Structure 1
Amino acid sequence: MKIETARLEFRQYRDEDFNFLYSLLSDPEVVRFIGNGQTRNREGATEFLYWIYRSYKENPELGLRMLIRKEDNIPIGHAGLVKQTIEGIEELEIGYWIAKDYWRQGYAAEAAKALRDYGIRQLGKKRFISLIQPENIGSMKVAEHIGMALEKDIQLAGKDVYVYSLEEQENKE
């Protein structure tokens, strides 16, 4: 999986990235709309990193990748294509988390667009979703920016969640 944009390089997590991952997972504002909205301690962050590593083994083309800002080689978040099962159907989610210091600079939209394009061009996928909690206006804007629309709302792990989706149509000429 080789993805980059004008400002970002995507790369797999490595053990030395643990402190950055922990900084994301322990920040209440960053995780507010992720899963149950709870921060994680170091043990929980270690489990999350191992989950990321398992996803790489299961499918090297998928999984969360570090987002490295090219201009100064600083990690600013992570994003990736992640398998999700929604109402018994396997879906491919475009997911993105940006560290608080880098919010509102267009990085999430840039990463999401790159993942969408990679999924279509390199993986031949036609459908993508993003799972977004109703209060997460910023993520809704990112999803809409890359062509997604609200498909439905569901309950996921006891939380209301919007399913945004994008389905590439075949060219019929």
Structure 2
Amino acid sequence: MMKLTRILAFCCAVAVAAPLTLSGGEAAAQQPKPLGTFSAWSAFTYQEDGGLVCYVVSEPIKDDGDYTRRGKIYTLVTHRPAKKTTGVVSVVAGYQYADGGEALVSIGSSNYKLFTVDDHAWAATAADDKSIVDAMKKGANMVIKGKSSRNTSTTDTYSLNGFTRAYEEISKACKVAG
């Protein structure tokens, strides 16, 4: 549990730091406010450019691959109602993906391809995000496979326990349909 807390604190810092822009010496985003931890998933909100951002985050329960070094690994689902985006699925792999590579997501019998840029992966469309989120709500585990720029294959397994409850919390906080 302590490892999860440290990882989630790091994830929060990354999630907030990534979209920061400085304007008049003030940061455009604020520190995340925790909404709660629901089994394997935690929910947070923060302000960004005058709008509320709500997200859930989790780390894998198992990560496999023949690597010597790997950064933090986590998956997020984010609402940014001010930007009219909801349920955006993103993965941080902890390494640079291979150029032109894909991350493959499996939830039960459903499979999805995510496009990759640097160490991140996303669904290509809002419809894909919705399909993945719907599968996450119904599934028990999610497996994400990727390949690094050094040709190392990885397989990360996430528990989906608590995902639905965490997602409901961020949907309520951001006033979007869950």
- Normalised TM-score (structure 1): 0.34
Larger RCO (alpha carbons 8 Å, 6+ apart)? 2
Give the number of the structure whose residues are more often strand, by fraction.
2
